[in-house]
Amino acid sequence: SAVISQKPSRDICQRGTSLTIQCQVDSQVTMMFWYRQQPGQSLTLIATANQGSEATYESGFVIDKFPISRPNLTFSTLTVSNMSPEDSSIYLCSVEAVNTEAFFGQGTRLTVV
Amino acid sequence: AQTVTQSQPEMSVQEAETVTLSCTYDTSESDYYLFWYKQPPSRQMILVIRQEAYKQQNATENRFSVNFQKAAKSFSLKISDSQLGDAAMYFCAYRSELGYGGATNKLIFGTGTLLAVQP
């Protein structure tokens, strides 16, 4: 199993500002995933964070808006840039174990005012 | 592209009773994984059960079992002897077999079913 620590757990931000979310895993993992869960909605993959290379973004998500860092095999950050109220969501970090089971962080509840 | 559909936005069950949550999916792949995740108000996503598509036998985990119908692309979750702690949002999810057709091993989620358990 994997234990994921995600920070902050929640934040209220002013529009136009940026927030960086951190994800720390207690073991080395190849890929880390960032998901967005809009209010009352399902989870949608933003990007896959690969160590040593640029993140792979899903359709509808761009690096300028959601820059991702992956400096090592246990840590990643997601930045939500130039925020607007539409960015108010829960953001979740996830990793996958070798048996394909996915583990999730506790999520970051972001409110943009 | 693969899709996952959960047609029941909300369900309710009496404590100790049995409830079945529905999930259908669409894919052209033959090898894949299916999952049920539970998300309580704490937001923590918890794996409930998983099924490999190549296995004909339905997966079971204690009070949780699935009815996997590959030809029909159906993957329902049965919760037996429901408990108050089972109340949560339940998501059905699909994952391609690693490396299949260049697909990544991301999860594709359905829209979720909110389960209420009545005492």
pLDDT of residue B98: 64
Cβ B105–A44 below 8 Å, yes or no?
Answer: no
Query: Is residue A64 within 8 Å of residue A74, measured between CB atoms?
Result: no
Distance CA B80, CA B49 (A): 14
Average pLDDT over residues A88-92: 96
DSSP symbol at A17: -
**Per-residue pLDDT at B102:** 46
Counting residues of chain B whose pLDDT is more than 70, the rounded percentage is 94
State the pLDDT at residue B101.
44
Decide the pairing of beta strands B24-26 and A75-80. Answer: unpaired
Interchain contact A109–B (C-beta under 8 A): yes
Phi and psi of B53, rounded to 5°? -65, -25
Q: Measure the CA–CA gap between B91 and B37, rounded to whole angstroms.
A: 5
CATH number assigned to the domain with residue range B3-118, chosen from the 4 options 2.60.40.10, 3.40.50.880, 1.20.1260.10, 1.20.1540.10: 2.60.40.10
* H-helix or E-strand spanning residue A25: strand A19-25
Query: What is the DSSP secondary structure assignment for residue A58, as one 8-state letter?
Result: P
Annotated domain spans of chain B: 3-118
pLDDT, residue B119, reads: 95
Greater pLDDT, A82 or A53: A82
Q: Which residues does chain B have within 8 Å of residue A32's beta carbon, measured at their own beta carbons?
A: none
Determine, for residues A45 and B106 on separate chains, whether the beta-carbon distance falls below 8 Å. yes
Question: How far is the C-alpha of B73 from the C-alpha of B8, rounded, in Å?
Answer: 17
Beta-carbon separation of B43 and A56 below 8 A? no
* pLDDT tens figures, A1-27: 788 999 999 999 999 999 999 999 999
Asked if pLDDT for residue A104 goes beyond 60, the answer is yes
Cα gap A81→B58, rounded to integer Å: 44
**Measured distance CA(B34)–CA(B6) in Å, rounded:** 13
The pLDDT tens digits of the residues spanning B53-92 come to 999 899 999 999 999 999 999 999 999 999 999 999 999 9
The 10 Å Cβ neighbour count of residue A113 is 9
A44 sits in which H/E element: strand A43-50
Tokens 């994800």, residue located: A23
Residue in A44, A101, A104 closest to B44 by CB: A104
The type of residue at B74 is S
pLDDT at B96 (0 to 100): 86
Provide the shortest C-alpha distance from residue B83 to chain A (in Å). 23
Backbone angles phi, psi at B40, to 5 degrees: -75, 175
Domains of chain A: 4-108 (2.60.40.10)
